[in-house]
Every structure is written in C-alpha cells, then in structure tokens.
Amino acid sequence: MVEKAVNTLPFMKMHGLGNDFVVFDERESGPMVTHALVIAMADRHCGVGYDQLVAVRNHPTEDIELIFWNADGSIAGACGNATRCIAGWELARTGNVVLSIRTERGVLEATDVGHGDIEVNMGQPMTLWNEVPLTHEMDTLELPIEGKPTATGMGNPHCTFFVDDVEAIDLGSFGPTIEHHPLFPQRTNVQIAQITGPNQIRMRVWERGVGITLASGSSSCAVAVAAARKGLVNGPTTLHLDGGEIRINITKNGVLMTGSWAHVFDGQWRGIR
C-alpha cells in the first residue's frame, strides 16, 4: 500500500543547557508559523514539546531576524539561549564567525569564540521602571514585594530573588504567583538565585508562559545584572542552572552571554497548522 503524500513542515529541535526550542527556517518558504501550530507543537505528549518556538526570517539589513513564541502561544521579546543556538547553527552552516541578528530586543551580535561556545551580546540592561516595564514608578533595585527582589529588562521583564538556599524554594508554586504579580503588566520571568562563591551564582528559573525551565539565557543576564547592582559579584560571573553553566560578562558595550548550544534533530511536522 502506498502512503498518500501529506504536506509537511520542516523544523529543527535545539537546546541550550536543556532549555529547548523548535525552530522554523522561513527564509525560503515564507511564513509557516501560526498560533494553532505554536500551541499544537508545544504539547510534549501529542506534539513535539519545547520551551520556545522560533522563526528564522530574512532581514533587509541584518544577517537574520528571529521571532520568538512561548509554549502558551504568547510572543516572547527575547530568548537568549535560542538566539545562541540558532547563531551557532547559522555560523557553522555558513563558516562565518560573526552574525548580526534582528530581534524585538534590537540588533544582537553573536560570535563563535571556539570550543563549541557562542557569545551573544544581549544589549544593555534596562533598569528603569518603565523599561522593565512595571506598572508605576519605583526603585527597581528593591521592589515592594516580600523578599525585595530586583527587576530588570532584557527585552523581556525579569524579577530576581536572592535567597540563602535555592533548593528550599517550591518554584512550582512560587513562580506563577510572581509571574502574574500586579506590578508586572506584561507578566515576568522569575529567578531565585544564591551566591555560592566569588562571582558564582546558583539559580533556578520560572519563565512566563512556560513554567520551570532547565535554563534561560536572558534570565541569566538579568540575575548577573541584579547581582552586580547589589554588589554581590564583581566581574565576569558563572551561573549554575539546572541544565548547566553559562557565563555572563557585563561590559560598557552590553551584557555578553557565552555558552554551549546543541542541534538535536531535524523533523517534519504533519499536524495542525
């Protein structure tokens, strides 16, 4: 019996430290991603499963453009790990060492620094209340929330709590409460962080629209920025996440994020579009 031909959509599965993504390269095909597709593929039992879905598109002035969706179907303005993974794949494919990437966050530059690592300049951190954004004017260093967390914008909003023991926090209950806190009109990513040594931070992440993730690049940047503002670190910092390590260096030219990337497999989607 000959199977009837079915139109399929090609995609890639990638991950950065266990923070996983479905990627569609739309540069030749044109737009493929719909809201229905985003929701259907996000299901880890009946779909593929991912933390974010990404479309790679042409751009008139930059090498590529990236559009991000969270697993709940909402748009994400930034995704550091996905940016690093796609940059690694594109640089390996082209043989180049530098890539300019247009995102909602702005133009980001990625560089192959060798040893399988990619460095992405994630831009300047945003620390004013209306940049994060918050609902009204306040000091973002210590928010009027129990635990006095720090708010940071990295193209998406972040709320960082410094605690004595990150393992003692029930992130599954704590995360959604803070994600939907009324101070954050666009919801927020939530990090709990613990200083474990000189320029060493252990952190765990709750991502808005996703839930608990093994890693988050933009969250790692936000935690390093918050720690530096509080005087808890001084210089390049290594962050230890559930999925592995990432290195953050805050410079006058932007926040540099460096880590590994993985292209796991290529697939063909036959389901809902």
Catalytic residue among 79, 85, 159, 221, which?
A: 79
Inter-residue contact 201 to 240 (CB < 8 Å): yes
Q: For residue 170, give every residue at least 6 positions away whose Cβ sits within 8 Å of its Cβ, in sequence order, or none.
A: none
Longest dimension (CA), the chain: 69
47 is in an annotated binding site: no
218 is in an annotated binding site: yes
268 is in an annotated binding site: no
Inter-residue contact 66 to 218 (CB < 8 Å): no
Asked if 85 is an active-site residue, the reply is no
217 is in an annotated binding site: yes
7 is in an annotated binding site: no
249 is in an annotated binding site: no
121 is in an annotated binding site: no
208 is in an annotated binding site: yes
From the DSSP assignment, how many helices (H) and strands (E) are in the chain? 4, 17
What element of type H or E holds 10? Answer: strand 9-16
DSSP state of 2: P
What phi-psi label fits residue 187: left (phi over 0), alpha (psi between -120 and 50 degrees) or beta?
Answer: left
- Would you call 104 exposed, middle or buried from its count of C-beta atoms within 10 A (0-12, 13-18, 19+)? middle
Q: What's the token pair of residue 160? A: 């960082």
Q: For residue 190, give every residue at least 6 positions away whose Cβ sits within 8 Å of its Cβ, in sequence order, or none.
A: 158, 159, 161, 171, 174, 175, 178, 179, 205, 206, 208
Q: What's the token pair of residue 17? A: 């430290």
How far is 140 from 257, CA to CA, in rounded Å? 22
80 is in an annotated binding site: yes
What phi-psi label fits residue 229: left (phi over 0), alpha (psi between -120 and 50 degrees) or beta?
Answer: alpha
Catalytic residues: 79
Q: Which residues are known binding-site members?
A: 19, 52, 70, 80-81, 156, 189, 207-208, 217-218
Q: Which residues are known binding-site members for substrate?
A: 19, 52, 70, 80-81, 156, 189, 207-208, 217-218
